[in-house]
Structures are given as structure tokens and as C-alpha cells.
A and B are shown apart, each in its own frame.
Chain A
Amino acid sequence: DADVTQTPRNRITKTGKRIMLECSQTKGHDRMYWYRQDPGLGLRLIYYSFDVKDINKGEISDGYSVSRQAQAKFSLSLESAIPNQTALYFCATGDGGRETQYFGPGTRLLVL
């Protein structure tokens, strides 16, 4: 969905490196989320934010941090990447009024 963009789309990094995944949205939603998806494990919530000053840990936040720079921007950082953080990462926004989520195209991350 072009309304939610993620950069980069693909990234290869080495163990111990710090990397940032960025998410931008033009939908005007206050709620934003970061998920990771692994084969056979489904989508798991890393962090979520209900407005610029609200940051909450999700199910699997260890090893990750986030920054909500503006209503439209929500970044995910891996402070020191490790191989088991290899996954497909999705950003999503939430439309509280319609109770639906809108997902970005995903970032495929490989940690060597």
C-alpha cells in the first residue's frame, strides 16, 4: 500500500551492526506498529505507538528500539543485530475509527 512506505526494502547486515528501518505514512493515522514475520510463526508485535508521545513494548521488544519522530514517521532500530533477527519486518498504521490496520510492503532483513 503506497500510503505506508518502508525503507529499505531489503537489507543485508553483519552481526553487531546497528541498523534502522524507517516507516512513513500519509494516511493521517495516530496509531503505528512494528511487526516481524518469520516462517511458521506468523506476525509478532515488536512495538506500537498510539501518538507521538506514546511508545509501548509489544510481545518481542528485546533487542529493538523505536522512535516516533512525527505522526507520520515511526522508525525501528536494531542496536546490535544478531542472526536470529533475520526476518520480514512490517510497519502498519491503525485506523481506530474503522478498527483496521494498513501494512507497508515490508523490509526483508538478513543478518549474517
Chain B
Amino acid sequence: SQKIEQNSEALNIQEGKTATLTCNYTNYSPAYLQWYRQDPGRGPVFLLLIRENEKEKRKERLKVTFDTTLKQSLFHITASQPADSATYLCALVSGGSYIPTFGRGTSLIVHP
């Protein structure tokens, strides 16, 4: 069966360090992968999208990589700040479906 895995344990890091979050998937052939940020009690907010034929995408302090051979995406936040503390969700979309399947998310806590 299709499965998307994100680390269920919270990631704790110090301010200024780079946070790296992982999204692994099995039995899936995504056309593209998305990353969202979710704050407690609020709806997810779209951050970045990367397509199957792209290796890396950047936006300001954010970087996403996509390795379809390893079936893995890495999400990096450089120079992390306490305001980056949130839950980060990855979502996979098969070609033409427009139906994202979400991972359970990983909580990031950035300590001052």
C-alpha cells in the first residue's frame, strides 16, 4: 500500500542552525511533492513545490530536494529562527490527479 513517512518525533534545534526534515514514501510515483507549514489550530500554508524531474528548489531560507530513486524529499531551513517553530507537512500528488496525499507531519522546535 502507499505510504508517506515523516518523523513523528519533534526536531529540536538551536536558533541559527539548519533544520532538516525528511519525507519518505513507498509504492508511489508522484508527479510532484509539496511542503506545507502548519501552526497549532490553523490550516496548513503552502511553502514549496518540487516536480519529479527537479532535484532541488529554493525559496529564501528554504530548500527542498527530491530524490525519486531513494523515494525521499528533504526540507531544509537555514539560519533557523524561533518563529520557524511549527509542524511541517509533506504531500505527494500523482500526475493529473490534483489530489495531495499528506504525511502526518514533523514538529520543529527552534530554541533561542
Contacts and interface: CB of A to CB of B under 8 A. Distances in A.
Interface in B58-112: 89, 93, 98-105
B91 to A, nearest CB: 8
Chain B interface, >50% SS class: loop
A106 to B, nearest CB: 5
Given A31-B98, A40-B104, A48-B99, A103 B45 contact: yes
Contact of A105 (B8, B42, B49, B101): B42
Chain A interface, >50% SS class: strand
Interface in A66-96: 88, 90, 92, 94, 96
3 smallest beta-carbon distances between A and B, as pairs: A103-B43, A42-B104, A43-B102
Interface of B: 8, 32, 34, 41-46, 49, 89, 93, 98-105
